[in-house]
Amino acid sequence: MAAPALNHIGLARDSYKGVASTLCAGCGHNSITNHVIKALYELGVEPHLLAKMSGIGCSSKTPAYFVERAHGFNGVHGRMPSLTTGAQLANRKLIMLGVSGDGDTASIGLGQFMHMIRRNVDCTYIVEDNGTYGLTKGQFSATADVGSVQKKGTVNAFLPIDPCAVALTLGCSFVARSFSGDGKQLVPLLKAALAHRGTAVLDVISPCVTFNDHDGSTKSYAYIKDHEEELQDVSFIPYFEEIEVDYEPGTTTDVRLHDGSHLRLHKLAQDHDPSDRLGAIRLLEEGRSRGQLVTGLVYLDETMEDFATREHLPERPLHSLGEAELRPSREEFDALMGSLA
Amino acid sequence: MAAPALNHIGLARDSYKGVASTLCAGCGHNSITNHVIKALYELGVEPHLLAKMSGIGCSSKTPAYFVERAHGFNGVHGRMPSLTTGAQLANRKLIMLGVSGDGDTASIGLGQFMHMIRRNVDCTYIVEDNGTYGLTKGQFSATADVGSVQKKGTVNAFLPIDPCAVALTLGCSFVARSFSGDGKQLVPLLKAALAHRGTAVLDVISPCVTFNDHDGSTKSYAYIKDHEEELQDVSFIPYFEEIEVDYEPGTTTDVRLHDGSHLRLHKLAQDHDPSDRLGAIRLLEEGRSRGQLVTGLVYLDETMEDFATREHLPERPLHSLGEAELRPSREEFDALMGSLA
Amino acid sequence: MLPTVNDLTFQAATVNGSGSQSANMVLTRAIFSLGIPVAPKNVFPSNIEGLPTWYQLRVTTQGYQARKGDPDVLVALNPATWRQDLEQVRPGAAVIHQHLYSTADARTDVDYFPVPFTKLAKTEIQNDTLRKQLTNLIYVGVVAGLLEVPFEAIQEGIRRTFPTKPGAWQANEDAARIGFKYWHENFSAHERRHVLRPLTGLTDSQILLEGNQAAALGCIMGGCTVAAWYPITPSSSVCENLAAYADRYRLDKATGERRIAIVQAEDELAALGMAIGAGWAGARAMTSTSGPGISLMAEFSGLAYYAEIPVVIFDIQRIGPSTGLPTRTSQGDLAFIYTLSHGDTKHLVLLPGTVAECYEFAQTAFDLADRFQTPVFVLSDLDLGMNLWMSPQLQYPERPFDRGKVLTKDDLDRLEGEWGRYQDVDGDAVTYRTLPGTEHARAAYFTRGSGHDELARYTESPEAYAANMDRLARKLETARAAMPAPVVETADSAQIGVIAFGSTDAAVVEAREDLREQGLEFSYLRVRALPLSPSLVDFVAAHERIYVIEQNRDGQLYDLIRLELPSQLVGRLRSIRHYDGRPVTAESLSRPLLELEAVPV
Amino acid sequence: MLPTVNDLTFQAATVNGSGSQSANMVLTRAIFSLGIPVAPKNVFPSNIEGLPTWYQLRVTTQGYQARKGDPDVLVALNPATWRQDLEQVRPGAAVIHQHLYSTADARTDVDYFPVPFTKLAKTEIQNDTLRKQLTNLIYVGVVAGLLEVPFEAIQEGIRRTFPTKPGAWQANEDAARIGFKYWHENFSAHERRHVLRPLTGLTDSQILLEGNQAAALGCIMGGCTVAAWYPITPSSSVCENLAAYADRYRLDKATGERRIAIVQAEDELAALGMAIGAGWAGARAMTSTSGPGISLMAEFSGLAYYAEIPVVIFDIQRIGPSTGLPTRTSQGDLAFIYTLSHGDTKHLVLLPGTVAECYEFAQTAFDLADRFQTPVFVLSDLDLGMNLWMSPQLQYPERPFDRGKVLTKDDLDRLEGEWGRYQDVDGDAVTYRTLPGTEHARAAYFTRGSGHDELARYTESPEAYAANMDRLARKLETARAAMPAPVVETADSAQIGVIAFGSTDAAVVEAREDLREQGLEFSYLRVRALPLSPSLVDFVAAHERIYVIEQNRDGQLYDLIRLELPSQLVGRLRSIRHYDGRPVTAESLSRPLLELEAVPV
Ligand SMILES: Cc1ncc(C[n+]2csc(CCOP(=O)(O)OP(=O)(O)O)c2C)c(N)n1
Ligand SMILES: Cc1ncc(C[n+]2csc(CCOP(=O)(O)OP(=O)(O)O)c2C)c(N)n1
Ligand code: SF4
Ligand code: SF4
Ligand SMILES: [Mg+2]
Ligand SMILES: [Mg+2]
């Protein structure tokens, strides 16, 4: 048997595996899990530095299904952003990877999601978006499209809350959309999100085969395949690899990320500048009114400071600071007491 | 003494007064209270049909300061939208008027605010926006502009959450911005919001004289006066008055509201079509990047069904339905029992 | 040995998402249609597909409804739990299993009936799309063969399980017949240890329904017009059933008008907020939730208590703390709910113990909420709410709604507008309210969660605050007398008493008969509401030792009772707690009770 | 009659937002600088400007810190409350008032000192912008004149009130001198009933500080590195003080690096979520809040309990239910917090009774949270937290942080990676954790609020669930012994005992001396933590009657104690409750105590 291929930190793909999934066979979330594993493996992320965060839902169970060697935290419904924020502040070295569902993010969790973005907490936030509450058996979530039909026939009357559009409104520093079935696009986007320092929101349409994959659903495999409009061919060149020029000039945008990696965007049908926020909003709106799902890198701002940087926190984990660094000296303390007398 | 002027339902302005305000002298919220009284009086709203809703904060106290003859509900912090939604469903006849603060709306209440908009609950929602938490003594709220300076000198590092931009992203059916000091603009906008059937969001910049009216604040009287860009000259013609044509053609947009009233917009500097949602988003974004505060009617969609209509609720208040209308008959009941045997 | 008749526990061990649920329903309905009392329990994972799930069906002539530990008949269709399932059956049990499961080194004190389910399905079931689903019907046929259930009963079970889909009857029947035939061809010679025989008189005017379904129907009959909820197991089916009943009974087919609003809110805070807003505006409003949702409702519950707004809150309890085991049962929210919210908050709580009470108390809850202008919690649990129970038919309500003290325009005219929202004019601490929209110049008042005086004006006066709090405490005392009284069954000679509440009832009833047979009599008091009834004191006083039995770790009812007793009676109480997430069995009550009885106080 | 010396209660009745607060501080610091013990209480509205506010300053040689009912000296500057303020003073009181307030038909048993404050301000104060503010200093001067406070003390008070603004000293001094002069020119002939005289020895190494300030300093000394909060009265000043101390002690001026993150969250759910996330990742993390915020923290508190994550939560109690009176004090959250969250949740609670304990317990809280891997609540209140208290100087901590059972990379190497997150290897029910980021292939585990086994794997096993819950109950028992023990002061001959907690202490201490003088001795036990100490039982056993004194309506501590006592002792307990939002006075304890003592049990 051939030795397994090792990544640049010397780990095999197996080191990024988790426990066996208990999701339904065919669930989009399972595909995303595989793409996450691939991205982490290829990127050579240190498992012990990874922190896997989630809320509650089928999607939120998935952090158990990848990188068993990383710490994970499956919190409460809709509140993963605050847990992630706290953990990031406590230890800036951690690579925060959050997985949430559309119910978890856009219904109960909308406020926290938005405030995390506003702070530009350094994390990757994946919305495994199936337009439904999988774990509670198929009610509409807030990302369900108006007119989408539930299994039992109910028609959704409300406009969807689009995590990407909301993120853009807030000036989120990294916004992308993808599809669980499109690893070719999703894996490089995931890598870029992980390399990005700041909040990276990835809305990944991920069909729920059990409750939302029927005719009339706008989040079914069939519907997405028919309505996806890819913005770019995305490729990711990690900082430890050399950049090869392989596209004709003018057709490609190259973005340098914080860690020195590069994201290369080869434009397809539409011409979109991912540094143009207003253009990005228009892009999504127009896609929606055409009934199309625009995927790819929607917006990226590498200049924005992330939260921990803005807070001037040390690079060392805060738990490594001892009494000497955290307590004022006896002299300072005595002076303080004197001033209170 | 001359008899007080009566409105078209025969009430004097005094009938719209509330208890004495306990807010600081000069607080923008007090001005808004006066504009609200004027709008309700001139519109001839039946006090007993008005329901005044609010959260917690200086702003949220104000419903006590107008129309003592109307029921009011000062709930808990950030959760006025759900109370309003429930009350509206219970009795569609009520004219729901919500008053909130920027902390109440954009910090703790962001999720409820957005989901209320998504449902297009029939109500007028005023954000008395001072960029600070007045009642808890001057901390930054989530609408504070990046770079705005607190009284003690702290500089805000975060991008603001703009209630209007957020509302637009969700397809809110009525979005306007105004200034507490500009009754000429605010009063007709308030009337239009009240006449509109659906969620009408009015973000009203309302300086906090005690904690956020100093140099360096972007929500001070001085700053707003210097940076306001009025979109339109707004006038409101109630359904019970005749429409007079007094503007040159081409300079004016006339919008018919649900109750037959008209909103007349006479364009000023910029040419903005309030039925163009994408244009409205661009307008706000561009205003922000110019450092200007765009005020006026930003967006209006009179075609969207409000929540109670979508839910097919009767016009009568639900509490007026009796046993005969709410319980199945004995026969139906027995049939049901039979099917369970 | 003659086979036992109509006394057995059946268990199917399957994988969830495989469609076994409808097969189990068919079997249940089939047996019930023979006039035999049934008691189903469903043990399912917090997951959609692929994890172990168990369905237990108990059959007794006594009609016992409690869970029973070890099955007499097992259908084993989950290889992952095969060995563990086998461990749990009684000696002598009939074990029907996939024929490929190994029985080597397995128990020898049971009867094995290997059936090639997959092969049978492949060769005998034509319908490709439904094959997976219908495979389960095969075991229904096998079990029918084993227990001598006439095939007509299975046909009846199918019709009752799919009443609106006659098109599906034949396929299901065919599948069941495969198993029935397989039994007769392969095992009919086998000596039977259990059989089922039609009965008469035991299930007359009995029905089968779930507590959440009963609660939903109670909401309909109780005049609920606004419901706001957020999905959460095991409470979702309250509002889902409510929506189904509303489609039937609240929809004007001609105009499309709906006489109820049911809103799926964005979370539990909003759900309760909407219900409170609606209650304030005069509607009978409710929400329903479970564990985590209750925690999220704390702030709004306090508002409704303090501002005195009627609202009904169903808590279908699951096991906590935190997310806990979302698909397992518990009575762990009792104490938390009673004082839900910061400050000196105290609520009215109804504790249905049967599905009939889920129905009845839903209606009572709306009456109490209106009458006392306060939140009323209805505490059910997963066992009561999501399992089918055999119950006497529900009764059509005889009384009109009690809408409480609401002043109308006419009342206000009569009073010449002189009234105070929080004025205790009747001396019962319950005050009058008006509804928004009342056409009278003095109808309005201002509602707030901050300090207010008798005229609902803002105040920070210490005296006004304390007076209002005292009145709220007195209101609770007024309400105490209006809450459903405990159900008491005394045994003349009994020195000991048992106190329980909620779904524990089924196990207590059974344990009582078991122990009586063993010569130990006890009286039984079932608490049905908080605040506790004063009659509880008499019950305790009349017995030397009292066992408080409940399904939580910390003995929450035990504590609440001790606080209400005169001190000299406190020492009589002992606590028995069951908290592993499974519905309590009679045996798990009688065993500790006997043990404790053996120990001197 | 000779004037009483150093024994009086001063009260200023003003309008909030008028700047009287700094004048009151000047007076307080001035008197304190004379070596005279002071006890200030601030009663302020939930409002920013224009409503009545009262400042009470008590002076006693005993150093009593409790509020006292009726003032001996009143400064009346609020026309809206003038008559009411006048009603409340003692007979013989000195009433300094705006000279325009009418004294016609007013009390004749007090001395009136009308002062034309507005006119004096207009004519004598030059600084236009500061005039409103400085007008208040005028009454400081008048009071100094009345009480014979040397003007140098006032100067000292000014310097101590504005230590960082020497530029403001002169203007304040000038304003005070206007009043001082006015007194001497108009009233010096008047016979004095109260005077203040410098003292020595009584205030040595005493300081003045607020509980929230002390708590913030405790967080600094306790090694807190992440704080997340949402503004709410009366807790905001905990984190605001923390931020100020952080600027001083945690900021590397050279690099700008901060050794603490303080986040103003978007609400209380997020605030606690951030603190829990940080605690999980190894930081010492805290949040602080009041009433409504506590309700909103219920769900996350349950998660931290069940997933066993250290976090510290300060609840600076205000009066509830709901919004209640946000600027009034209470002890009404005790019971709710102890079991905060649905299911069988139970927490560790610290109950500081003095500002020194606010400081000390803040540190203890972080140690306990790390040691027991659980939320630790610190319950203070508005009175303790926002008023200045006289206190012995705080002590520099002698011990290093107790970081609890954390396995490092080296530990894991030694164990060869063999460990289980929830395995009770030491028999104390406290298990080992690792921090994210630990560089070892077996360091990681998965944290969840759902069912888990000893290796932190997901499970729905009933046995694993119950075993874990039992361990959590045992962990609480381990913690019980580690909580701060009650402070007990027994009186040899006493038949009665008093139990109290928190800020009630000051009133109990005073009532004890008052009653001793009246011949009634009682022993005193001050509870300092939940779960309750077993030593409480001995205390109860040693006394015939026990009065539990607390500041809430429902007798929450009284109930909690009754549940912990052997039944034969329960009957000894009686409850005294004070709940009008004002800090309790000694008199309001001793009066009901005397009344109850007169009634046979
Ligand atoms: C506070 C709270 N409310 C409700 C639930 C029940 N619940 C569990 S998962 C879920 C929805 C999950 O939907 P989504 O986030 O879209 O995840 P999916 O299962 O679709 O992947 C809900 C409502 C809960 N666990 N906690
Ligand atoms: C749950 C909860 N958290 C915190 C508070 C304290 N609080 C009262 S008002 C307020 C902020 C109000 O700010 P805003 O809505 O902007 O109103 P403003 O006073 O500025 O008009 C806060 C945080 C509260 N009442 N309830
Ligand atoms: S229910 Fe839907 S979301 Fe959940 S695991 Fe199954 S397919 Fe996936
Ligand atoms: S504090 Fe600010 S917001 Fe509040 S009343 Fe005063 S000026 Fe208005
Ligand atoms: Mg989903
Ligand atoms: Mg504000």
Window 312-371 of D, Cβ < 8 Å to B = 322-323
D4-204 maps to CATH 3.30.70.100 = no
D369 touches D311 (CB < 8 A): yes
Q: Could you check whether the bond before residue C234 is cis, i.e. omega within 30 degrees of 0? A: yes
What three-state secondary structure class fits C111? strand
Q: Around Cβ D489, how many Cβ atoms within 10 Å?
A: 15
D22's tokens: 């700094």
C490's tokens: 């005394």
User: Quick check: CB of B129 below 6 Å from ligand 2?
Assistant: no
Chain C nearest CA to A57, separation (Å)? 9
Interatomic CA distance for residues A139 and A321, integer angstroms: 47
Angle between helices D268-280 and A80-90 (to 10 degrees): 50
- C506-522 pLDDT tens trace: 999 999 999 999 999 99
Q: Which helix (H) or strand (E) holds A143?
A: none
Maximum CA pair distance of chain C? 89
What are the φ and ψ backbone dihedral angles of C528, each rounded to 5 degrees? -120, 0
Please name every residue paired with B177 in a beta bridge, in sequence order, or none if there are none: B203, B296
Contacts of D322 in chain B (CB under 8 A): 76
Contacts of D268 in chain B (CB under 8 A): 108
- Tell me if C306 and D294 make a contact (CB, 8 A cut-off): no
- Asked whether the predicted pLDDT for residue B1 surpasses 80, the reply is no
Interatomic CA distance for residues B287 and B299, integer angstroms: 15
Strands (E) located in D81-166: 94-98, 111-115
Determine the pLDDT at residue B268.
Answer: 85
- Asked whether the predicted pLDDT for residue C582 surpasses 80, the reply is yes
CA of C261 to the centre of ligand 3 (A): 29
Interatomic CA distance for residues A247 and A255, integer angstroms: 14
- Domain spans, chain D: 4-204, 209-392, 409-482, 487-597
Four-point Cα dihedral C165, C166, C170, C172, nearest 10: 30
- Tell me if A161 and B108 make a contact (CB, 8 A cut-off): no
* Chain C CA closest to residue D584: C462
Name which of C578, A77, C231, A92 is nearest D448 in CA terms. Answer: A77
Determine the pLDDT at residue A251.
Answer: 80
Please, is A210 exposed, middle or buried when counting C-beta atoms within 10 Å of its C-beta (0-12, 13-18, 19+)? buried
What three-state secondary structure class fits D283? coil
* Chain A CA closest to residue C233: A136
Asked if A161 is an interface residue toward chain B (Cβ–Cβ < 8 A), one would say yes
Determine the pLDDT at residue C520.
Answer: 93
Which of D208, D259, D397 is opposite residue A314, by nearest beta carbon? Answer: D259
CA of D502 to the centre of ligand 2 (A): 27
What three-state secondary structure class fits A333? helix
**Number of separate helices (H) and strands (E) present in chain D:** 21, 24
Ligand nearest to the CA of B107: 2
Determine the pLDDT at residue C492.
Answer: 84
CATH for D487-597, options being 3.40.50.720, 3.20.20.70, 3.40.50.920, 3.30.499.10: 3.40.50.920
Sign of CA dihedral A219, A222, A228, A233: positive
Residue pointed to by tokens 């004194």: D549
Which of A109, A118, A159 is opposite residue B159, by nearest beta carbon? Answer: A118
- Tell me if D258 and A72 make a contact (CB, 8 A cut-off): no
- Tell me if A89 and D267 make a contact (CB, 8 A cut-off): no
- Asked whether the predicted pLDDT for residue D26 surpasses 70, the reply is yes
Give the end-to-end CA distance of chain B in Å, rounded to a whole number. 77
D contact chains, 3+ CB pairs < 8 A? A, B, C
- Tell me if B90 and C450 make a contact (CB, 8 A cut-off): no
- B with D: how many residue pairs have Cβ under 8 Å apart? 47
Give the number of the atom of ligand 1 that is nearest the alpha carbon of residue C293. 1
Chain B nearest CA to A156, separation (Å)? 11
- Asked whether the predicted pLDDT for residue D356 surpasses 60, the reply is yes
D529's tokens: 């933590």
pTM over 0.90: yes
Residue of A136, A208, A219 to mutate, ligand 3, most atoms within 8 A of C-beta: A208
CA of B141 to the centre of ligand 4 (A): 14
Sign of CA dihedral B113, C306, D338, C319: negative
Interatomic CA distance for residues D425 and D444, integer angstroms: 18
CA of A60 to the centre of ligand 5 (A): 9
Provide the pLDDT confidence category of residue D96 given band limits of 50, 70 and 90: very high
Would you list which residues of chain A are within 8 Å, Cβ to Cβ, of chain C? 22-25, 56, 58, 76-78, 107-108, 110, 133-137, 139-140, 142, 210
Distances from the Cα of C376 to the Cα of A243, B26, C231, C236, C402, angstroms:
67, 44, 20, 19, 14
B120 touches B307 (CB < 8 A): yes
Interatomic CA distance for residues C482 and A231, integer angstroms: 66
Residue pointed to by tokens 């002299």: A331
Interatomic CA distance for residues C335 and C322, integer angstroms: 16
B219 touches B288 (CB < 8 A): no
Which domains does chain B carry? 13-319 (3.40.50.970)
Ligand nearest to the CA of B209: 4
What three-state secondary structure class fits A230? strand
pLDDT in tens, chain A (341 residues): 577 899 999 999 999 999 999 999 999 999 999 999 999 999 999 999 999 999 999 999 999 999 999 999 999 999 999 999 999 999 999 999 999 999 999 999 999 999 999 999 999 999 999 999 999 999 999 999 999 999 888 999 999 999 999 999 999 999 999 999 999 999 999 999 999 999 999 999 999 999 999 999 999 999 999 999 999 999 999 999 887 766 676 788 899 999 999 999 998 878 899 999 999 999 999 999 899 999 999 999 999 999 999 999 999 999 999 999 999 999 999 999 999 99
Angle between helices C20-33 and C151-161 (to 10 degrees): 120
- C359-390 pLDDT tens trace: 999 999 999 999 999 999 999 999 999 999 99
Interatomic CA distance for residues A291 and C105, integer angstroms: 62
Please name every residue paired with B124 in a beta bridge, in sequence order, or none if there are none: B97, B200
Determine the pLDDT at residue D551.
Answer: 98
Which of C50, C266, C323 is opposite residue A107, by nearest beta carbon? Answer: C266
Four-point Cα dihedral B184, B185, B190, B196, nearest 10: 130
Those residues whose beta carbon sits under 5 angstroms from the ion ligand 6 are B 101-103, 130
Interatomic CA distance for residues D498 and D592, integer angstroms: 12
What three-state secondary structure class fits B126? strand
The overall average pLDDT reported for chain C is 96
* Chain C CA closest to residue D562: C563
- Asked if domains C209-392 and C487-597 share a fold, the reply is yes
* Chain A CA closest to residue B168: A169
- B87-146 pLDDT tens trace: 999 999 999 999 999 999 999 999 999 999 999 999 999 999 999 999 999 999 999 999
Pocket of ligand 1 (CB under 6 A): A 56-59, 77, 101-104, 128, 130, 132-136, 141, 208; C 230-232, 268, 292-293, 296, 323
The overall average pLDDT reported for chain B is 95
Distances from the Cα of B36 to the Cα of B27, B40, B63, B114, angstroms:
15, 6, 10, 23
Interatomic CA distance for residues C204 and D171, integer angstroms: 94
Give the number of the atom of ligand 1 that is nearest the alpha carbon of residue A133. 13
Q: Around Cβ A215, how many Cβ atoms within 10 Å?
A: 8
- D360-416 pLDDT tens trace: 999 999 999 999 999 999 999 999 999 999 999 999 999 999 999 999 999 999 999
Asked if D50 is an interface residue toward chain B (Cβ–Cβ < 8 A), one would say yes
A contact chains, 3+ CB pairs < 8 A? B, C, D
Interatomic CA distance for residues D194 and D196, integer angstroms: 7
Maximum CA pair distance of chain A? 77
Give the end-to-end CA distance of chain A in Å, rounded to a whole number. 77
Give the number of the atom of ligand 3 that is nearest the alpha carbon of residue A26. 7
Residue C3, CB-side half-sphere exposure with 13 Å CA sphere: 18
Chain B nearest CA to D269, separation (Å)? 9
Angle between helices B110-119 and B80-90 (to 10 degrees): 30
D469 touches C553 (CB < 8 A): yes
Determine the pLDDT at residue B245.
Answer: 64
CA of C461 to the centre of ligand 1 (A): 44
User: Quick check: CB of D296 below 6 Å from ligand 2?
Assistant: yes
Which of B25, B136, B140 is opposite residue D233, by nearest beta carbon? Answer: B136
Contacts of D266 in chain B (CB under 8 A): 107-108, 110, 142
User: Quick check: CB of B27 below 6 Å from ligand 4?
Assistant: yes
DSSP, res C205: T
Q: Whose CA is nearest to atom 4 of ligand 4?
A: B134
CATH for C209-392, options being 3.40.50.720, 3.40.605.10, 3.40.50.970, 3.20.20.70: 3.40.50.970
- Tell me if D209 and A332 make a contact (CB, 8 A cut-off): no
C479's tokens: 């309400």
Q: Which helix (H) or strand (E) holds C100?
A: none
* Chain B CA closest to residue A289: B278
A123's tokens: 């994390």
C288 touches C229 (CB < 8 A): yes
Query: D522-527 and D487-489: which strand pairing?
Result: antiparallel
For a pLDDT cut of 90, what percent of chain C falls above it? 95
- B231-282 pLDDT tens trace: 999 999 999 988 776 667 678 889 999 999 999 999 887 889 999 999 999 9
Q: Which helix (H) or strand (E) holds C513?
A: helix C504-517
